[in-house]
Chain A
Amino acid sequence: MSSGAFPRGGTAFVAGATYGMGEAPGYDSLDLAVHASLKALDMAGMTPADVDGLFVALPSDMMSQLSMAQYLGIQPRVMSNNRVGGSSFQTYAHMAALALEAGECDVALIAYGSNQRTASGKLVASTRPSIYQGPYKPLLPISAYALAASRHMHEYGTTREQLAEVAVAARKWANLNPDAFMHGDLTIEDCLNARMVSDPFTKNDCCLVTDGAAAVVMTRADRAKDHAARPAYLLGAASATTHMEIASMPDLTVTAAVESGRRAYAHAGVGPKDIDVAEVYDAFTINTILFLEDLGFCPKGEGGRFVEGGAIAPGGKLAVNTNGGGLSCVHPGMYGLFTMVEAMEQVMGIAGDRQVKDVNLALSHGNGGTLSSQATLILGSEATL
């Protein structure tokens, strides 16, 4: 099979922003997405009228791109709201890069907003379970990920303490991020003693339920520097899928991130050893462990041991989920775009107290459904072109 002809470094993230992180009462999801978009466009020195490529997902709007185009008063040439859960946004960046490179659009806006917390107060399932799963009453999405965690523990000896390491590391990063919803001390003991929700997960193994919005602006590389001092160039992008419902996942310890990562690295011409920061979609603690393995940061089965001893916390051996992640920063239902904003900020060097030194390569990884869809982006500084 051809590896394709992804335009490595042909496009760049020139701006990105978040809005309404945590709680944003009184706004609907589209209001929040627009606020984040306007912040990002301000940063790029643009207005909505400059946008001719629009990619947007909202929690419960099947035609969100039409709603947003109408709201902004624009008539984009290219639009999509491809829905693969939280990884949708990585797929938008992939498609936007191809559309920009082909000249089908010149300015791509990727946006998301959700008022999940103030509107409903719980994780909202976005699909109806089939008759083959619904009657067994899995607590979705939590139980599906819990089944993956149980299997990983069985096959590789992964422990609840190692899962807790992921939550603790996320909190330590969140403590450096003023926009994070959760701050304060969190210990391994706290996690182990927390209320069990769906074994082996306690509430601390599960992502937050927040409001929040995010947006990024992409252009072709030739004009990126007109809009950003230090653009974050898109070097590689790929997505892959293995299933929809968890019973159809071939191996619960191996995700399609193996495939999305392999292709994204190939496009970028880099490997996991080259990556300075990894922003991976941590809806649950097992996600971080699975994705560190599947994206090549450690061998299969070693993820639990890899994260021990604060290895992915600030000052550890690999900077992972530097905004605090879905576990401690923000999780409005589809978190993928927040990993892209954080990866961009780290490459641009504007991440404040949580800025990792000398970031040239950042990985952003999205997950959707119940480990169903995986999508990987590699962002690089000018030095990587």
Chain B
Amino acid sequence: MDQIRPERDYEAFLAEGRFMIQRSRSSGAYVFYPRVAEPRTGARDLEWVEASGDGIVYSVTVVRKRPPEQDYNVVLIDLAEGPRMMSRVVDIEPSAVKIGMKVKAKIASEDGKPLVVFAPVGDQA
């Protein structure tokens, strides 16, 4: 029997450079954030699967900081698999991030820990 430990497993995968989400074996539906069971059905048959990393910006805000601190964006990303997650779009000016922008996940390092961020796909910047 699988023994999923949501936060511990997720962070362990990230430390290996893998962005993993979950999928129910019975329904095939994807789940993020990680849990011990599928929402609504309660199905305890979630397995870890590699996320495609493909996503679209669902919404964006730019947190404004007083210099010398830098402004940064906070986004919600709709993953190609269905679930939505909070993240940050990098490799672009914070205020240039637009809703509907196609993005691809990558794993950055922040405060000494791995973190899933997204970068614009192609020439959208």
The chain A residues found within 8 Å of chain B, CB to CB, are: 130-133, 135-139, 143, 146-148, 150-151, 154, 195-201, 245-248, 252
Establish whether residues B113 and A137, one from each chain, have CB atoms under 8 Å apart when the complex forms. no
Q: Taking each of B60, B76, B85, B88, which has the highest tally of chain A beta carbons within 10 Å of its own beta carbon?
A: B76
Which residues of B sit under 8 angstroms from A248, Cβ to Cβ?
33, 84
Q: How many B residues are at the interface, by size bracket?
A: 20 to 34
- Which residue in chain A gives the minimum CB-CB distance to B11? A131
Residues of chain B whose beta carbon lies under 8 Å from any beta carbon of chain A:
7, 10-11, 32-33, 58-64, 72, 74, 76, 84-88, 95, 99-100, 110-111, 113, 115
Residues of A within 8 A of B115 (CB): 135-136
In the assembled complex, which residues on chain A have CB atoms less than 8 Å from the CB atom of B60? 147, 150, 199
Q: Which residues of A contact B64 (CB under 8 A)?
A: 195-199
State the main secondary structure of chain A at its contact with B: mixed
Establish whether residues A247 and B110, one from each chain, have CB atoms under 8 Å apart when the complex forms.
no
How long is the Cα–Cα vector from A31 to B11 in the complex, in angstroms?
44
State which of B7, B32, B87, B99 has its C-beta within 8 Å of the C-beta of A150: B99
- Whether B59 lies near A154 (C-beta < 8 A) is yes
- Count of A-B contacts with CB under 8 A? 77
Q: Which residues of the partner chain B approach A130 to less than 8 Å between Cβ atoms?
A: 33
| Complex Cα spacing A196 to B63, Å | 8
User: Residue A151 contacts which of B11, B59, B86, B111 (CB distance < 8 angstroms)?
Assistant: B59
**Given A132-B33, A136-B86, A199-B62, A151 contacting B74 (CB threshold 8 A):** no
Q: How far is the CA of A129 from the CA of B64 in the complex (A)?
A: 20
Which residue in B33, B59, B62, B85 is a CB contact (below 8 Å) of A148? B59
Contact of A135 among B32, B99, B113 (CB under 8 A): B113
Report the Cα distance A147→B87, complex, angstroms.
12
Q: Quote the shortest CB–CB distance from B31 to chain A (angstroms).
A: 11
Q: Which A residues are in CB contact (< 8 Å) with B62? A: 196, 198-199
Verify B63–A137 contact, CB threshold 8 A.
yes
Q: Which residues of A are found within 8 Å of B100, using beta-carbon distances?
A: 154
Q: Which of A131, A195, A199 has the most CB of B within 10 A?
A: A199
Q: Which single residue of chain B is at the shortest CB-CB distance from A199?
A: B62
